Amino acid sequence: MSPVNKIHPTAVVSPEARIGENVSIDAYSVIGPEVTIGDGCTIGSHTLIEGVTSIGTGNRIFSHAVLGSIPQDLKYHGERVRLEIGDGNIIREFTLINPGTEGGGGVTRIGNGNLLMGYVHVAHDVIIGDHCILANAATLAGHVVLGDHVVVGGMTPIHQFVRIGDYAMIAGASALSQDIPPFCLAEGNRAVVRGLNLTGMRRKLDRETIDAIKRAYRRLFESGEAIRDAANEILENESRPEVRDLCQFILESKRGIPFKRKSNAQ
């Protein structure tokens, strides 16, 4: 361990753990032998980090978080699996993040700059991109995939194998069991697409791109046309990558897209 680290005397840190520089580990935390913690991380009191867990630089992990404990999956029988966390994440109190399983690729991966609020659960084999926000008690089941800049409201459960595209937002107290395409806003129990996440889009995208996404959205969800047919036709004529990503996501969806269909007879 680097002499510049601040390790509380009651913390239990395995001598085999790899700890970077300028790391703070507070009272009664436990760090296992196969854990790697990058430079500049802070670990709150009573935190447990175990298993084959790699944590990047500049992460803030608050008290009573549990990272890397074995998957909550009855098919797990002690295989060597991993949890990978990137840089600059904030992981708040009582968050639980499990590693992957052999059947799901063996890794749970969280990107950079994410905020996981209190009591969030990230299950086995979940993939989270960059700059996502998971509000209090959001619950991601196994094999869920989130893109970048996704927002999940508090008290929202997400079914296993669901995919959520970039810049999508899921409202609080929803229950999501199908895929939500990029840039879309979903709400309800069961959650359905209600519109576009314009607030999130305006933070990062230019006006022309947003207008192109609006046109595609109206064609896909409001024209009454079959959604896959509309997506294929848009792809044939649209070069803008954001619109193409939206259509490609729809065509690749395995769980389907939840939205209220409109009749062709208007």
Domain segments of the chain: what residues? Answer: 6-143, 201-252
Residues noted as catalytic = 124-125, 142
pLDDT at 78 over 80: yes
Nearest to 18 by CA among 4, 3, 31: 31
Radius of gyration (Cα) for the chain, nearest Å? 20
pLDDT at 108 over 90: yes
Which three-class secondary structure state does DSSP give residue 230?
Answer: helix
Summarised one tens digit per residue, pLDDT across range 162-194 is 999 999 999 999 999 999 999 999 999 999 999
Tokens of residue 164, six digits: 């959520």
Level-2 CATH architecture, domain 201-252: Up-down Bundle (1.20)
Summarised one tens digit per residue, pLDDT across range 206-265 is 999 999 999 999 999 999 999 999 999 999 999 999 999 999 999 999 999 999 876 553
pLDDT at 141 over 80: yes
Mean pLDDT of 44-58: 98
Q: Whole-angstrom Cα distance, residue 152 to residue 62?
A: 20
Assigned CATH class of 6-143: mainly beta
Nearest to 121 by CA among 149, 150, 147, 152: 152
Task: Determine if the peptide bond prior to 190 is cis (ω within 30°).
Answer: yes
pTM confidence score: 0.96
CA distances from 136 to 21, 115, 133, 139 (A): 30, 10, 10, 9
Portion of the chain with pLDDT greater than 90, in percent: 96
Tokens of residue 98, six digits: 């499990």
Cβ contacts of residue 224 below 8 Å, gap of 6+? Answer: 261, 262, 263, 264, 265, 266
Tokens of residue 138, six digits: 């959001």
The predicted pLDDT at position 266 comes to: 37
Cβ contacts of residue 145 below 8 Å, gap of 6+? Answer: 126, 127, 162, 163, 164
Count CB neighbours of 200 within 10 A: 19
